[in-house]
Copies of this chain bind each other. A is one copy, B any other.
Amino acid sequence: MSLLVTGSIGIDTVETPHGKRDDIIGGSAIYFSYAASFFTPVRLVGVVGEDCPKAMFNVFEGRDVDTGGLEVRKGSKTFRWHGSYVQDMNEAVTVEVDLNVLAERAPKIPQNFLDSRYVFLANTHPVLQQEMLGSLKSPRLVVADTMNLWIQTEHKELTRLLSKIHGLVLNDGEARLFTGEKNLIKAARQVLKMGPKFVVIKKGEHGCLMCFDRGEFVLPAFPAEQVVDPTGAGDSFAGGMMGYLSTQGTFSPATLKRALAFGTVVASYTISDFSLAGLQSTTREQIDDRWHEFKQAMSF
């Protein structure tokens, strides 16, 4: 089944203890699309400025990613982010950020994408997320991400969005900020009351936590000895998770668990190199092998 993603596309400059890369492709929708395309066809919706080199999208060559929803907006400039993990590999310091085209209107979802059944609304203004969701015909599974900025400035719209989606993905700091609850399980339970059927809280190197009505599930990160660039780990995680879910008929707790483990494994490849390089040198077979290795390592 086709999986639609809307989110940011950016030109990144990233510094980590392993080096610096200038003008590399980034953004939530990019990492998500690449990660999800190991599992299912992906429909990418996003917007860049006319300064964006076309060659950047060569990364999707030979992959089942439909870039028909990619708008190159005249007179606008592409979103740019310069982040540094030199001090702390667990949290980027934003050196510079230029929202550029992301501060303008949302991209339009192409007509032939409107029948998408699986949808991931990557982080953007919750009003735009609702608008894009509203234009879809009959989505079967809708999962959204968000960020601190909207939690602080658009609490009401975010709450409105929650009543319309099946799952929310956010990180631990965001979950605490949104609910005022320090305990993550209590925080997740509070979010569940606002509508979603499940909540996934990402904890970076400490793995993730999923809560649903009948219980919860915790998973450590895949033990990685080599972390080169954590950028995109969360979006790759979501991509792996949604990619796998899109191939399944059910969203039972057991299916969600397996999906989370796939997300974890895919993210472990992302952080092994800069930008998309870690994912680009990976095959679905390797992902499946590592998934089984992870499953094995988790069982006792």
Instruction: Show the binding face of A for B, using Cβ within 8 Å.
Output: 89, 182-183, 185-186, 189, 203, 206-207, 209, 215-221, 223-225, 227, 254, 257-258, 260-261, 295, 297-300
Is A220 within 8 A of B223, CB to CB?
no
- Nearest Cβ on chain B to A223's Cβ, whole angstroms: 5
Is B298 within 8 A of A215, CB to CB?
no
Complex CA distance for A227 and B182, rounded to whole angstroms: 11
CB contact under 8 A between A298 and B298, given known A182-B89, A223-B216, A225-B183: yes
Is B297 within 8 A of A225, CB to CB?
no
Copies of this chain in its oligomeric complex: 2
Complex CA distance for A295 and B209, rounded to whole angstroms: 15
Complex CA distance for A233 and B255, rounded to whole angstroms: 32
CB contact under 8 A between A261 and B300, given known A203-B206, A206-B203, A223-B218: yes
Is A224 within 8 A of B185, CB to CB?
yes
Complex CA distance for A219 and B223, rounded to whole angstroms: 10
For A219, the chain B residues whose CB sits under 8 A away are 220, 298, 300
For A224, the chain B residues whose CB sits under 8 A away are 183, 185
CB contact under 8 A between A227 and B183, given known A219-B220, A298-B300: yes
Complex CA distance for A225 and B298, rounded to whole angstroms: 22
Complex CA distance for A221 and B185, rounded to whole angstroms: 12
Is B217 within 8 A of A297, CB to CB?
yes
Partner of A185, one of B182, B223, B257, B261: B223
Partner of A299, one of B206, B207, B215, B299: B299
For A206, the chain B residues whose CB sits under 8 A away are 203, 206-207, 220
For A216, the chain B residues whose CB sits under 8 A away are 223, 297
Is B185 within 8 A of A300, CB to CB?
no
Complex CA distance for A219 and B294, rounded to whole angstroms: 11
CB contact under 8 A between A300 and B257, given known A186-B225, A223-B185, A223-B216: yes
Q: Which residue of B has the minimal Cβ distance to A88?
A: B182
For A299, the chain B residues whose CB sits under 8 A away are 295, 298-299
- Nearest Cβ on chain B to A65's Cβ, whole angstroms: 27
Complex CA distance for A260 and B204, rounded to whole angstroms: 22
Partner of A220, one of B215, B220, B225: B220
Known: A89-B182, A207-B207, A218-B220. 12 other contacts (CB 8 A): A183-B225, A185-B223, A206-B207, A216-B223, A217-B297, A218-B223, A218-B298, A220-B220, A258-B300, A260-B300, A261-B300, A299-B299
Complex CA distance for A185 and B297, rounded to whole angstroms: 15
Complex CA distance for A62 and B250, rounded to whole angstroms: 51
